[in-house]
Structure formats: structure tokens, C-alpha cells
Amino acid sequence: MDKLLLQKIEQCRKEMIALSGSYKLSSEVMVETSKKLDHLLNEYQLKCNQ
């Protein structure tokens, strides 16, 4: 497993949780963070399927 990628996923997840206390889910910062997390999760899934 790619430990660095897993760390990035966890960091982004925690960032989203922290932001959710201050921003609406539809806010630009939340949408951008969600896209970043989606990208990281897709990358992880691709690596797992190889």
C-alpha cells in the first residue's frame, strides 16, 4: 500500500470535517476539498486494482 497516499487521504478527510463546522456543504471551499478527496480516493482505488 502507498502509505503517503493514505496519509493524504486522511489529512484531506480531517480537513473536510473541520471545514464543515464553518462552511455550508455547497460552499466553494467545501466543493474544492471534496473534489480533492475524490481525486485521492480514485487514485487509491486505481492502485489497489492493479
Q: What is the pLDDT of residues 3-24, one digit of tens each?
A: 999 999 999 999 999 999 999 9
Which of 7, 3, 5 is closest to 42 using CA atoms?
Answer: 5
> Residue 10's domain spans which residues?
3-48
Q: Which residues contact residue 41 at a Cβ distance below 8 angstroms, ignoring those fewer than 6 apart?
A: 9
Query: How many structural domains compose the chain?
Result: 1
Q: Per residue in 33-48, pLDDT tens? A: 999 999 999 999 999 9
